[in-house]
Amino acid sequence: MQLKALHYFSVLSRSTSIRQAADQLHITPTALTRHLAQLEHEFGAPLLERSARGIRLTAAGELLAGQAGQTLRQLARVKSTIGDLRGLKTGHVTLCVSEGILEGILGPMLSQFSARFPGISMTLETASASDVTQALIEGSADIGVSFFMPRHDDIHRLTSLQLPHSVVMAPEAPLAAAPEITLEQLIEQPLVLPPAGYGLRQTLERLVGQRRLTLAPRFTTGSLSMQLTLACEGAALALLPTMATTRLCEAGHLVSIPFAEPDLQRARLDVCHAKYRPLGFAGQTCLDHLRRQLLTASD
């Protein structure tokens, strides 16, 4: 079986049509269909069903898609390891992170890393804490960085930092002049919060439950940019990492007010990887860089 065909099928399995996958792969739909037919012949089973609504994987296709992604990632790590043996400072690393830390925290750190190691490419994926954990376990990510990562026997949590959070809102918001904001004050306001899978949301819900209060956010989104936009427009208050909102606060678009609840004044940021999967040069070098930079940032 050709690796190219396996790669093509992996992309196809995540697409809604053959044309969409072909466009992404920069080949013609006819060429992609030919590779699909070769795979179906080799495995002796149809892998794809076509309908007016698009394409859908068969049971055999689902099985192959899961294995194809895993195999391609393993081969990429082997290639990186061979590069290590040759003394090449190259490779690829996939990071799965909480979006709230990309702009204000990880962005500058990864820019420094890329300047120092231009031969290492990176894929950045954003997800909730539970999805970061799943990505590490499945092997679709090398490094996970997220707030309040759940404990898991297969995940090694290397660094845990306490980073400040605050309530952010438009300057004209009713609580913009408050010295601090209590939980009771917060839940009375229109809020924009991340979905239930996010660690910050889970901690907030735990506090609300302990006091027998009701949490009813007006907006729910995992997008940091949308949370910031809604806060800047005065549509809602957001609870976000201070480092992710500094520039907007300095520009006068947002006001940052301390949260009175100790459990959310400083949120735990975890840097993790899977215990039983070697990282190779690219992954280990990136991991070491992030640990040093995050420790410095928290001082």
Per residue in 52-76, pLDDT tens?
788 889 999 888 888 887 787 777 6
CATH code linked to domain 89-161+268-298? 3.40.190.10
What are the φ and ψ backbone dihedral angles of 159, each rounded to 5 degrees?
-135, 130
> Residues 56-59: contacts with CB within 8 Å, 24+ apart?
57/13
Question: In sequence order, which residues have a C-beta less than 8 Å from that of residue 265 and are 6 or more positions away?
Answer: 164, 165, 258, 259
Query: Helix, strand, or coil here: 144?
Result: strand
Higher pLDDT, 160 or 222: 222
Predicted local distance difference test score (pLDDT) of residue 89? 63
What does the DSSP 8-state code read for residue 149? Answer: P
Q: Hey, do 89-161+268-298 and 162-267 end up sharing a CATH topology, with the first three levels equal?
A: yes
**Mean pLDDT confidence for 114-133:** 86
**Mean pLDDT confidence for 166-191:** 94
**Tell me, what amino acid is at 201?**
R
CATH code linked to domain 162-267? 3.40.190.290
**Mean pLDDT confidence for 267-287:** 83
Name the pTM for this structure: 0.60
User: Which residue has tokens 């549509």?
Assistant: 235
Domain boundaries, the chain: 3-80, 89-161+268-298, 162-267
Predicted confidence (pLDDT) per residue in 184-231, tens digit: 999 999 999 988 877 788 889 999 999 999 999 999 987 888 999 999
Q: Could you write out the DSSP letters of every residue in 78-131? A: HHHHHHHHTT---EEEEEEE-GGGIIIIIHHHHHHHHHH-TTEEEEEEE--HHH
User: Apex CA 59: angle with CA 141 and CA 132, to 5°?
Assistant: 20
Query: Helix, strand, or coil here: 53?
Result: coil
User: Which residue has tokens 């039983």?
Assistant: 276
Tokens coding 3: 């690796």
**Helix %, strand %, coil % for the chain, to 5?**
50, 20, 30
pLDDT band at 80 (very low <50, low <70, confident <90, very high): low
What does the DSSP 8-state code read for residue 151? Answer: P
pLDDT band at 88 (very low <50, low <70, confident <90, very high): very low
Q: Could you write out the DSSP letters of every residue in 197-256? A: TSHHHHHHHHHHHHTT-----SEE-S-HHHHHHHHHTTS-EEEEEHHHHHHHHHTTS-EE
Say if strands 91-97 and 48-51 run parallel, antiparallel, or are unpaired.
unpaired
Predicted local distance difference test score (pLDDT) of residue 218? 96
**Mean pLDDT confidence for 247-268:** 87
What letters, b where the CB count within 10 A reaches 16 and e where it falls short, cover 183-206? bebbbebebbbbeebbbbbbbbee
Question: What residues pair up with 181 in beta bridges, in sequence order?
Answer: 259
Which span out of 18-22, 50-54, 172-176, 201-205 was modeled with the highest average pLDDT?
172-176
Burial of 150 (0-12, 13-18, 19+ CB in 10 A): middle
Q: How far is CA 260 from CA 91, 184, 239, in A?
A: 45, 10, 12
CATH code linked to domain 3-80? 1.10.10.10
User: Apex CA 183: angle with CA 179 and CA 184, to 5°?
Assistant: 100
